[in-house]
Amino acid sequence: MWAPALLPVVRKVCGWAMKGPCIIWRLRRGIIQPGDHVVEPVTRPMPCITSLATALPAHRFTQSEIKEAMAGVCRGNRKMERLLPVFDRTGVEHRAFARPLAWYASGKTFETRNEVYAECALDLIDQATRECLARADIRPTEIDHVFCVTTTGLTTPSLDAQLCARLGFRPDVRRFPLFGLGCAAGAGALVRATDILRAYPTHRALVLSVELCSLVFSPTAESATDLIGVALFGDGGAAVLVSGDDVEGDGPTVVGTRTHLFHEAPDLMGWRFTDNGMRLILSRGVPEFVATAVKPIVEQFLDEQGLTVGDLQHHVLHPGGAKVMSTYRSAFGLEEHALRHAREAMRCYGNQSSASVLFMLHDLVASEQPVPGDRGLLMALGPGFAAEMLTLAW
């Protein structure tokens, strides 16, 4: 009976224990010398990831089924037919879509596809939210902040407003609907929630991500990038409950966060908005940019916490695609085992844009692999070009 009352105290003790890496970092930089008397400031609050849940659409297909359907759409278009082998090199085995395969082949307008998005996306975050809150034994009225991210459809009122009305959230809940962060948005929402909860340690935040990437496809698509999108991306929704430092809860704590916008690379990825909907922008230069520009930012972020990549037991890295994962391995000197979460996510779900890292984190926590003392890095990259990063401690 006394354990819940002691949780804030235990968290603060664990927070003080985190000062060690900060001292090590200052020793490395020569800011302090061995033997110096060091007075550490009070450690800032560390929000806790208390509960996670995911949801998939009902229509699930093998990669070979999707490839066969796409071959039918491309029949007679020699340029696109020559590109079909890309389906076999993605590492994807299964994906879930909002609608049956035949529905996509019939050539729906952007208006029709967005109407399906509005319906299906709300249902997915409804399902994920109910399960997430039930696992934590939390009522909707106990949520203080809602972050909802998406990049594959548009609704006004926003999805979070509709969800709050449907499930009975408090009228004064603070909502943050975010659009346009792309694949980085799931990690970005966790970073923003952490910022808020450090200021309000008695509050709880719900992070929602939903992407229906399949609805972006149009039979009129004729570029290699369009086909790569069809070969890689899948649908899904996720919910994450993040609790402030003074709130009862258990799970990995968010120790550090970092957001970085690379001004020099705005054209690496994004959407091109057309009369028939959104078209994927995805540069071949992404893997090289990860190796040359993203790597030093990640290393600096870890170094400031007294960490190196080698100190991490868990790597929740947005999978992107096969080339990006290979770049992660070579640039950061990772063993193949370190990419197990990314490869498994691609195998089972495909690239789910902003939801991918949340699915990966959910599966990692559910696997019971992390043990006390483990550290992890969660990172996703998206349009901007931008990186969103968190370090986690168990």
**How many C-beta neighbours within 10 Å does residue 329 have?**
17
CA distances 169 to 143, 174, 179, 361, Å, are 7, 10, 22, 25
91 to 168, 293, 343, 347, 359: CA distances (angstroms):
41, 26, 7, 6, 17
Q: Which of 48, 164, 183, 213 is catalytic?
A: 183
Q: Within its chain, how far is the Cα of 235 from the centroid?
A: 13
132 catalytic residue (yes or no): no
Gap between the Cα atoms of 353 and 164, Å rounded? 24
Tokens 């996306």 correspond to 121
Tell me how far apart the alpha carbons of residues 205 and 262 are, in angstroms, rounded to a whole number. Answer: 28
Cα angle 8, 358, 4; round to 5: 20
228 to each of 66, 98, 357, how far by Cα in Å? 12, 19, 20
Which residues contact residue 366 at a Cβ distance below 8 angstroms, ignoring those fewer than 6 apart?
52
DSSP letters, 221-275, are: --SHHHHHHHHHB-EEEEEEEEE-TTS---S-EEEEEEEEE-TT-TTSEEEEEET
- Residue with tokens 């200021």, as numbered in its chain: 199
Residue 268, φ and ψ in degrees, nearest 5: -70, -35
Report which of 98, 102, 103 is spatially closest to residue 119, judged by C-alpha positions: 98
Helix (H) or strand (E) holding 315: strand 314-317
- Measured distance CA(324)–CA(294) in Å, rounded: 12
Contact, 205 vs 147, CB < 8 A? yes
**Do the bridges between strand 145-150 and strand 204-212 make them parallel or antiparallel, or are there none, so unpaired?**
parallel
Q: What are phi and psi of 296, to 5 degrees?
A: -65, -30
Cα separation, 186 vs 150, whole angstroms: 9
Which residues are catalytic, by number? Answer: 183
